[in-house]
Chains A and B, each alone.
Chain A
Amino acid sequence: MNAKILLLLVFLPMSALAQGFAGLGTEAKDFARPQPDPSFSFPADHGAHPDYRIEWWYLTANLTGPEGTAYGLQWTLFRSALAPGTAPGWDSPQVWFAHAAVTTPEAHHVTERFARGGIGQAGVRADPFAAWIDEWRLGGESFARMDLTAAGPDFAYDMALEARGPLVFHGAEGYSVKSAQGQASYYYSQPFFEISGTLTLPGGAVPVTGSAWLDREWSSQPLAADQAGWDWFSLSFDSGEKLMGFRLREAGGGVYTAGTWIGAEGRTVALDDGAFRAEPLETTQVAGREVPTRWRVRVPERGVAVTVAALNPRAWMDVTPPYWEGPVTVTGSHAGGGYLEMTGYE
C-alpha cells in the first residue's frame, strides 16, 4: 500500500479533507454540534474540543525582509476526530495533522506532519497555551505572547508573536453560519499579532517583521453536503481596518458568502450572505488545474472595491489534501495585504 492512500482512507470518514472539501459536509453523527449564542470561556476554549469532529489553529503572516521583499508564512494545526472524545495511548480517536509553508515571490516551501492523539506527539494545552506537533510549536506565557517554530526539509522559521488588539468573533458572537441550511462552526480570530523573527531558507537566514492573523475554528459539519469548496480572504488594510470574507461554492454553481468587517480597534460588523462579493479576474495553471489568483473583492456597504492579487500565484500546498494558500497584495479603494485560501479546485 501507499501511505497516502491510507491517509485518504483515514480522513474519509470524518471530513473535509480527502474527497475534495465536500467531505466537510458529511453527517455529524455522534459528534457535538455548534449551537447559536455561544459563550466562550478563555483560556479553556483556546484548547482542543475533542467532542467536535474538526478543529484548527490557523496562523498566517505577511512579512517584510531587509530589502523590502515580501514574504508569507503559514502554520496550521488541524485536529480531526474519528470518534468523539479522548482515550489514552493508541486508542485515542483523535488524529492531528499540520501544514507549514513559507512563500517568497519566487518560491513556495511547504511541508506537512501527521500524528496520533493520546501519545503526546501532538496536542494543544490551553493554559499556558501551547499547540504542538513533533518539534513544531506555537505557544507561550499567554495566548497574546507566543513563539512559533516549524521546519521542513528545505526551510524553517522561528518567530515571536505579540497581540496588539482584542480577539474578534465572527458571525453571531462567534457562531459562524456556513450555509443557508444552517451548517455552522465556532469561529474567532486574533488578527492583531505583530510578528518578527527569522526565516531559514535555502539561500540563508532572513530576518523579517510583519503582521499575523490567527484563526480558531471548530465544528462537526461545517459545510452543507452540496458545498464543494471555498475561497477565504483575510485582508489587512493600511488604514488599520481588516476584512475577513469567505465564499462557499455549491456544486450547482451558487455561492454562499459571509464575512466580518473589523475596525482598527477590533469592533466587528458581521457581513450577511451577499454583502461580501468576490469574483475571479485571472487564473493560473498550477498543479494541473486552473486556480483564480487575481480577484475583484467588493463590500459595497463599506465602500470596498479592491483587486486582490497573489504574491506568488504558484503557492500550491502539495499536502494531504492539496489546496492553494498564499499571501496577497491589495490595491484599489483600500491598499494593504493579506492571505487567500482556496479549496476544492479539482
Chain B
Amino acid sequence: MTAAGLQALWSHWRRNPLQLFTLLAGLALATALWSGVQAINAEARASYAAAAATLGEGQFDQLVPRAGETMPQARFVALRRAGWLVSPVLEGELDRDGGDVRLVGLEPLTAPGGLGPVRPGAGGGDLADALGGGVVFAHPDTAARLAGLGPRVVADRGVAPGTAVADIGLAQRLLDLRGRISRLILAPGQPVGRPPLAEVAPDLVRRAAQGRAEVARLTDSFHLNLTAFGLLSFAVGIFIVHGTIGLAFEQRRGMVRTLRALGMPLRRLVMLMAAELALVALVAGGLGIALGYLVAAALLPDVAATLEGLYGAQVSGTLALRPAWWLSGLAIALGGTGLAAAGALWRIARMPILASARPRAWSMAAGRARRWQAAGAVGLLAVAGALAQWGGGLVSGFVLLGCLLLGAALALPLVLDPLLAAAQRGARRAVAEWFWADTRQQLPGLSLALMALLLAIAANVGVSTMVSSFRLTFTGFLDQRLAAELYVSAEDAQEAAALEAFLAPRARAVLPLLSVETRLAGRPAELMGARVGPTYARNWEFLAAEAPVWARVEAGEAVIVNEQLARRAGLWVGDDLAVGPGRRLPVAGVFGDYGNPVGQAIVGEDLFREMFPQVRATQFGVRSDDPDALRRALVAEFGLPRARIVDQARAKAASMRVFERTFTVTGALNVLTLAVAAFAILTSLLTLASMRLPQLAPAWALGLTRARLGRLELVRALVLAVLTAALALPLGLVLAWVLLAIVNVEAFGWRLPMHLFPVDYLRLGAFALLAAGIAALWPARRLARTPPSDLLKVFANER
C-alpha cells in the first residue's frame, strides 16, 4: 500500500514536471540567497574574531601616544620597570604587490594570554627561530603576498586577513622602525603599589578595551543589513513555494480521495506526503546551499572591501565551508517547506473522506482574505509611521523598513484593483473590457508575484538613491578635505621641525595636522588644531554654521565639530563644548565627516598649542603650485622617504576606489532580488495558465485567435508591471529617505542630503518591464500554441 501510495504521489510530479521544477527552483533560490548571506556573515565574524585575538583589541586596555604614531621603545622598559605590566605592539604597513599588508609586531613573552597566532603544530615549532627573528605568521590569503620578504612565512588561519604577525624585533627591522613601538597592551592582573600613569608616562593615554567596540557595532549594522536582504529574498522564495505546494495539493485532491477510498490510512498518507516534501526540501536545500556558496564566494571579496573601506575591519576574501552554515541552510530549507506546506497538509488531514474532488481555484482563497489584508497593510504602515516619528536606534530603523515594505506589499492588490476597475469602466470595446475584467480576475493569483516585483523595484530605487546621494556628497567632501596638494609625515618632532622649515619658503602654505586623542562630551574623540588660512575658508562646507566660523576658530573663540560628535553628544551650533579642563567654547559649525567612526573637534592652532604644548605635528598638508617639483625636492634635497609623501590625486583615487567597491554588494543583491521577483512572475503565470483555460476557451470560441490571446497575455503582464513600478517609485523614495535619514544616522553617525536621479529611475523601470516581459514571454507563447483540441475539451468535458 505504501509503495502504491508513493507511486501515485510521484505520478503527479511526473505529469507536471514544470510544477516540480518551480518547487525545487523556488526553494533552492530562497535557500541560496539566505545561506549565501549567512556564509558571508559567518566569514566576516570569524575574521573579526581573528583580528581581536591577534591584536588584543576589545580584550585589553591599551596605552597609546597622545600624539604621533609611535613612541620610543624605552617607554615600554620604563613602564615595566615602574611595575606596569605592559606588552609592546608595533604596527605598520608593508608595501607588497597586491596591496599593503598590515604587519603587527608582538612581544610573545610579555603579551597577555590568548594573543597572537602561534599554535603548536602550526609550523611555528621552533620558537628560538620566532624570537630570534625568522618567522612571520600570516593568513593563507596574505601569506602568498609576503613571498620574497626574507623571513620564513607560516600560513595560519588564526591571523586576521591582510595582516601578518611577527616578533617585535623582526617587525621593527621589516618596517624600518628600530627602537619604536605603536602602543602598549595592558595585561590583566596588574601588581599592587604601582605609581599612577600620569607620573610614569604623561604622554600616553589609556584606551579602554571597549574603545574599539564601536567598530563591532558598526559592522553589526552592515551585517544586519545583509541579513535583512537575505530574509527578504527568502520570504519571496517561500511565497513561490507556498503557491506551488498549494496548487499541487489542490490538484491532488482527487487522488487523495481515491487513495483513501482504496484503504490507505489517512495518517500514513499524510506521513507520505510530508516525507515527499522533506525529500524535495533536502534536494532543493542542497542545491540552494551549493548556489549560496557560489553567491557568497562571488560577493565576499566585495563585502571584504566594503567592510575595510567603511570601518577598517579586515575580512578574509576566501570562503571556508563551515558545518554550522550548511546545516543551517538545510534546516531553513526544511523549515521553509514545512511552513509553506503546513496549511495544505492540514486541509488534507481534515478533508472528509468522500469530499468532492472538484478543484477549487486555490487563488480564490486570497480574495476572501482581502479584508484582513487591508487591515494588516494599514496596521503595518501605521507602525512604520509611528516609528519614523518617535522611534530611535538602529533596530527600530530596520523594523520601520520592514513594516513599510511589508505594509506596502500587502496594500498593492488593494490599490491595483480599483485602478483596473477604473480602466474597465473606461473601456469602450468589448475586447478591451474583457481584457481589464480578466486582468482583475487574475489579480489574486498574481498578487504575490507582483508584491515581489514591488519590493524589488522599491529596494532598487531606494538603494540607488542612497548610493548616488552618497557619491555626490562624498566627492564634494573629498575636495574639501583633501585640499592640500601634498601630505608629508615626519618620523619625530625633530624631523618635523626641520621639515616645516624646509617647506616654509618652498610652499604656498604648510598646514600642520595637530591632533590628540582625548575625551569630548564623555566619549573618546579626536581634538585637532588647525592653522586657519584661505585653504580652510575656501574649501570647507558646513552642515550648519554661524558666520564667521573660521575667524572665530582662529581667535580661539569657537570650536567646530564633526557630525558624528554633534549627533552623539546632542550638540549643535551655538551650544557649548568643553574642549579641555575649564575651557568651554561655543560650537561655531558642524561639518560632515563621512567615513570616520570617531568624533572630532577642531580648534585654532594657537589655542591647541597652548593647551597641549608637548604635542608636535609630525604630519603636514602642503599647498603648492608645483607639487611635482616640491615632491622631487623633498626626496632629493631633504631626503624624505618617498613612502612618507602622499599626493592628493592618489589619495582621492584611493578613497574613490574604496567607495566604488563599497556598494557593489548592495547592487548585486538588488539584481538578485529583481531576478527572484521575475521568477515569481514566471511561476505564477505558468501555474495560472493551466487553470485559466476554461476562462480563455469562450474568448477563443468567440473569435479571438490564440496568437492574439498570447499577445494580450504579454500585454497584461506588462501593464501590471508598469502599474507596480509606478507604485514602487514613491515607495522606493520613502525607503531611500528612511535609509539616509534614519538608518544611516544610527549606523554611521551621519545624515546624507537626499538627491533625486530621475534618469536612473526610468532605466530601472525599463529593467523591471524587461524582467516582467521576459517572465511573461514563455507562458504567452505556450498559450499561443495551445492545441485547439485542448480549448475544445473545455466545452466537451466536465472538468
Q: Are A9 and B193 in contact (CB under 8 A)?
A: no
A106-147 at interface with B (beta carbon < 8 Å): 111, 114-116, 119-121, 132, 134-135
Quick check: is B95 within 8 A (CB to CB) of the other chain?
no
Q: Find out whether the CB atom of B127 lies under 8 angstroms from the CB atom of A10.
A: yes
Measured between beta carbons, the chain B residues less than 8 angstroms from A116 are 107, 109, 131
B730 contacts partner chain A, Cβ-Cβ < 8 Å: no
Given known A90-B168, A151-B193, A155-B192, contact A4–B131 (CB-CB < 8 A): no
**Nearest residue in B to A4 (C-beta to C-beta)?**
B113
Main DSSP-derived SS at the B contact region: loop
**A100 and B111 alpha carbons, distance in the complex (Å):** 19
Bound state CA distance, A132 and B83, in angstroms? 12
Whether B191 pairs with A115 at a CB distance below 8 angstroms is: no
B155 to chain A, nearest CB (A): 14
The interface residues of chain A lying within 8 Å CB-to-CB of B168 are 90
Distance from B715 Cβ to chain A, minimum over Cβ atoms (Å): 67
Contact A9 B80 (CB under 8 A): no
Chain B residues 84-136 with CB under 8 Å of chain A are 85, 107-120, 122, 124-128, 130-133
- Within 8 Å by CB of B83, from A1, A9, A93, A135, lies A135
| A239: B residues at CB distance < 8 A | none
Residues 49-88 of chain B: 1 if any A CB is under 8 Å from the residue's CB, otherwise 0?
0000000000000000000000001101100111101000
Q: Which of A155-188 contact B (CB under 8 A)?
A: 155-156
**A interface, over-half SS:** mixed
- Shortest CB-to-CB span from B116 to chain A, Å, is 5
B132 touches A93 (CB 8 A): yes
Cβ B109 vs Cβ A12 within 8 A: no
If A3-B111, A7-B109, A90-B167 are given as contacts, then 9 extra A-B residue pairs at C-beta distance below 8 Å, sorted by A number, are A6-B116, A6-B118, A12-B127, A83-B132, A90-B133, A119-B76, A120-B77, A134-B81, A151-B193
A3-B81 CB under 8 A given contacts A10-B127, A90-B167, A116-B131: no
Q: Which residue of B lies closest to A151 (CB)?
A: B191
- A200 interface contact, C-beta 8 A: yes
Partner of A151, one of B113, B114, B192: B192
Which of A83, A115, A120 is in CB contact (< 8 Å) with B109? A115
Contact A156 B192, beta carbon cutoff 8 Å: yes
- Looking at the assembled complex, report how far the CB atom of A330 sits from the nearest CB atom of chain B, in whole angstroms: 33
* A321 adjacent to chain B (CB < 8 Å): no
> Which residues on the A side are within 8 Å of B190 (C-beta)?
153
Contacts of B191 in A (CB 8 A): 111, 135, 151-153, 156
Determine whether the beta carbon of B117 is less than 8 Å from that of A134: no
Decide if B114 touches A2 in the complex (CB within 8 Å).
yes
The bracket for how many chain B residues form the interface is: 35 or more
Task: Determine the residue in chain B with the shortest Cβ distance to A118.
Answer: B169
Give Cα A156–Cα B118 distance, bound, in whole angstroms.
33
Name the A residues within 8 Å of B115 (CB-CB): 1, 3
**Cβ-defined contact, B169 with A82, below 8 A:** no
Closest to A82 in B: B128
- In the assembled complex, which residues on chain A have CB atoms less than 8 Å from the CB atom of B194? 135
Q: Say whether B189 faces chain A, with CB atoms less than 8 Å apart.
A: yes
Q: Any chain A CB within 8 A of the CB of B172?
A: yes
B156 CB to nearest A CB, Å: 9
Are B116 and A3 interface neighbours, CB within 8 A? yes
A97 CA / B113 CA spacing, docked (Å): 16
CB distance from B60 to the nearest CB of A (A): 12
Rounded to whole Å, the gap between the CB of A309 and the closest CB of chain B is: 31
Note all chain B residues with C-beta closer than 8 A to A280. Answer: none
Q: Does A200 lie within 8 Å of B192, measured CB to CB? A: yes
Tell me the chain A residues, 3-49 only, with Cβ under 8 Å from chain B.
3-7, 9-10, 12-14
In the bound complex, what is the Cα–Cα distance between A121 and B117 (angstroms)? 24
Interface status of A226 (Cβ within 8 A of chain B): no
Q: Is A308 an interface residue (CB 8 A)?
A: no
Residues of B within 8 A of A134 (CB): 80-81, 83, 85
- Report, as a range, how many residues of chain A touch the other chain: 35 or more
From A2, A7, A91, A153, contact of B132 by CB (8 A): A91
Contact of A114 among B76, B82, B109, B170 (CB under 8 A): B109
Contacting pair B131 A121 (CB below 8 A):
no
| Residue-wise interface mask of A (200-216) relative to B, using a CB-CB cutoff of 8 A (1 in contact, 0 not) | 10000000000000000
Interface: B158 (CB within 8 A): yes
Residues 150-176 of B contacting A (Cβ, < 8 Å): 158, 167-170, 172
Q: Please list the residues of chain B having a beta carbon within 8 angstroms of any beta carbon in chain A.
A: 73-74, 76-77, 80-83, 85, 107-120, 122, 124-128, 130-133, 158, 167-170, 172, 178-179, 189-194
Q: List 11 A-B pairs, Cβ < 8 Å.
A: A1-B119, A1-B122, A6-B127, A9-B125, A10-B128, A13-B128, A14-B128, A114-B110, A135-B82, A135-B194, A156-B191
Residues of A within 8 A of B167 (CB): 90
Complex A-B, nearest 4 residue pairs according to Cβ-Cβ distance, in ascending order: A90-B169, A135-B83, A151-B191, A114-B109
Contacting residues, chain B, for A115 (C-beta < 8 A): 80, 109-110
A154 within 8 A of B: yes
What's the least CB distance linking A131 to chain B, in Å? 13
In the bound complex, residues from chain A placing their C-beta under 8 Å from that of B125 are 9
Contact B111 A10 (CB under 8 A): no
When distances are taken between beta carbons in the complex, the residues of chain A under 8 Å from B193 are 151, 156, 200
B192→A95 contact, CB < 8 A: no
Report how far A132 CA is from B189 CA in the complex, Å: 20
Query: Does A332 have its Cβ within 8 Å of any Cβ on chain B?
Result: no
Closest-CB distance, B368 to chain A (whole angstroms): 64
The residues of A that contact B107 with a CB separation of less than 8 Å are 116
A228 to B124, CA, bound (A): 27
Work out how many contacts link A and B, with CB atoms closer than 8 A: 116
- Bound form: Cα–Cα A10–B85 in Å: 20
**Known contacts A4-B113, A95-B109: A10-B131 contact under CB 8 Å:** yes
Closest to A202 in B: B192
B113 contact set on A, CB distance < 8 A:
2-4
* A263-305 Cβ-contact flags toward B at 8 Å (1 or 0): 0000000000000000000000000000000000000000000
- A5/B119 in contact, CB under 8 A: yes
- For A152, what are the chain B residues with a Cβ–Cβ distance below 8 Å? 191-192
Q: Are A91 and B192 in contact (CB under 8 A)?
A: no
> A89 near B: Cβ within 8 Å?
yes
Q: Which residues of A contact B81 (CB under 8 A)?
A: 120-121, 132, 134-135
Do A5 and B82 have beta carbons less than 8 Å apart? no
**Interface residue from A5, A82, A151, A155 paired with B118 (Cβ < 8 Å):** A5
Q: Considering the chains assembled together, what is the distance between the CA atoms of A91 and B172 in angstroms?
A: 11
Inter-chain contact B73/A119, CB cutoff 8 Å: yes
Give the distance in Å from the alpha carbon of A5 to the alpha carbon of B85 in the complex. Answer: 20
Contacts of B74 in A (CB 8 A): 120
Which of A6, A111, A115, A151 counts the most B-chain CB atoms under 10 A from its CB?
A6
> What's the least CB distance linking B329 to chain A, in Å?
31
Contact call B127/A121, Cβ cutoff below 8 A:
no
* CB-CB nearest in chain B for A96: B109
Closest Cβ of chain A: how far from B434's Cβ, in Å? 76
Chain B residues with CB below 8 A from A153, complex form: 189-192
Contacts of A120 in B (CB 8 A): 74, 77, 81
CA distance A55 to B43 in the complex (A): 48
Q: Which residue of B lies closest to A201 (CB)?
A: B192
Identify the interface centre among A3, A83, A91, A155: most chain B CB within 10 Å of its CB.
A3
* Distance between Cα atoms of A89 and B169 in the complex (Å): 8
Please, which residue of chain A has its CB at the minimum distance from the CB of B107?
A: A116
Among A9, A116, A121: residue with most chain B CB under 10 A: A9
Most chain B CB neighbours (cut-off 10 Å) among A1, A90, A111, A154: A1
Least Cβ–Cβ distance between A201 and chain B, in angstroms:
10
Contact status A9-B116, CB under 8 Å: no
Which residue of chain A lies nearest to B53 when distances are taken between CB atoms in the complex?
A1
**CB within 8 Å for A9 and B192 given contacts A82-B131, A134-B85:** no
Are B120 and A5 in touch, CB under 8 angstroms?
yes
- The CA of A327 and the CA of B110, in the complex, are separated in Å by 29
Query: In the bound complex, how far is the Cα of B119 from the Cα of A6, in angstroms?
Result: 8
Q: How far is the CA of A4 from the CA of B109 in the complex (A)?
A: 9
Q: Which residues of A contact B108 (CB under 8 A)?
A: 3, 6-7, 10
Residue B127 contacts which of A9, A97, A151, A156 (CB distance < 8 angstroms)?
Answer: A9
Q: Which residues of A contact B128 (CB under 8 A)?
A: 10, 13-14, 82-83, 93
